Amino acid sequence: MIDPKFLWFASETNALYRIRERGQENFYNGKDTFYNHGLGFAVTSGAPFKHNFDKIILQLIESGLVDKWKQEELNKAPKPRVKDTDSIFAINIEMSQAAFFILIMGFTVAAIVLIIEIITGQLEKK
């Protein structure tokens, strides 16, 4: 697709990765978030380590480590490929001529088989 027009909803990290991978000029990234959601960990009720676990998670977030890890992963995204405009071209009717030829051959074979079935069905009734 040369100029696709579509809207894409994704998690922020996933969207930013795709933007870096395919080039900033190909996307508009909205700055507002309309569906905030968190990540949860299932722990048994009354688990003795829950308080320590919550404390460690909060420390990771407040210290900026989560954002740092996110940025490191985004930096691993492959650089946008340079578009080779010579390899992009429109398909014309001459290029699809073989497909139409095969389609017409298939219709012809199907019509012949149908006629044979009708004739043999008429002969069996007699």
Does 75 share its domain with 96?
no
Asked if residue 102 has pLDDT above 70, the reply is: yes
Lowest-confidence pick of 34-43, 52-61, 92-101: 34-43
Report the residue count for the chain.
Answer: 126
Q: How many domains does the chain have?
A: 2
Same domain? For 76 and 100 the reply is: no
DSSP letter at 31 equals S
Q: How confident is the model at residue 2 (pLDDT cuts 50, 70, 90)?
A: very low
Do 104 and 45 lie in one domain? The reply is no
Per-residue pLDDT at 35: 66
Distance between CA atoms of residues 8 and 6, nearest Å: 7
Same domain, 2 and 50: yes
pLDDT one-digit tens code per residue, 12-22: 777 777 777 77
d(CA 53, CA 59): 10
**C-alpha distances in angstroms, 87 versus 21, 83, 99, 104?**
20, 9, 22, 30
**Whether residues 2 and 64 fall in one domain:** yes
d(CA 58, CA 21) in angstroms, rounded, equals 31
Q: Which two three-digit tokens encode residue 37?
A: 């959601």
CA atoms within 13 A on the CB side of 119: 6
Q: Are residues 72 and 104 in the same domain?
A: no
Q: Do 37 and 49 meet the contact criterion of CB atoms below 8 Å apart?
A: no
From CA 85, how far away is CA 15, in angstroms rounded? 26
Query: Which among 67, 39, 37 is positioned nearest to 54, based on CA atoms?
Result: 39
Instruction: Please check whether residue 87 lies inside any domain of the structure.
Output: no
Residue 109 lies in a domain: yes
Whether 76 and 56 map to the same domain: the answer is yes
Q: Higher confidence at residue 60 or residue 35?
A: 60
Q: Which domain holds residue 66?
A: 1-82
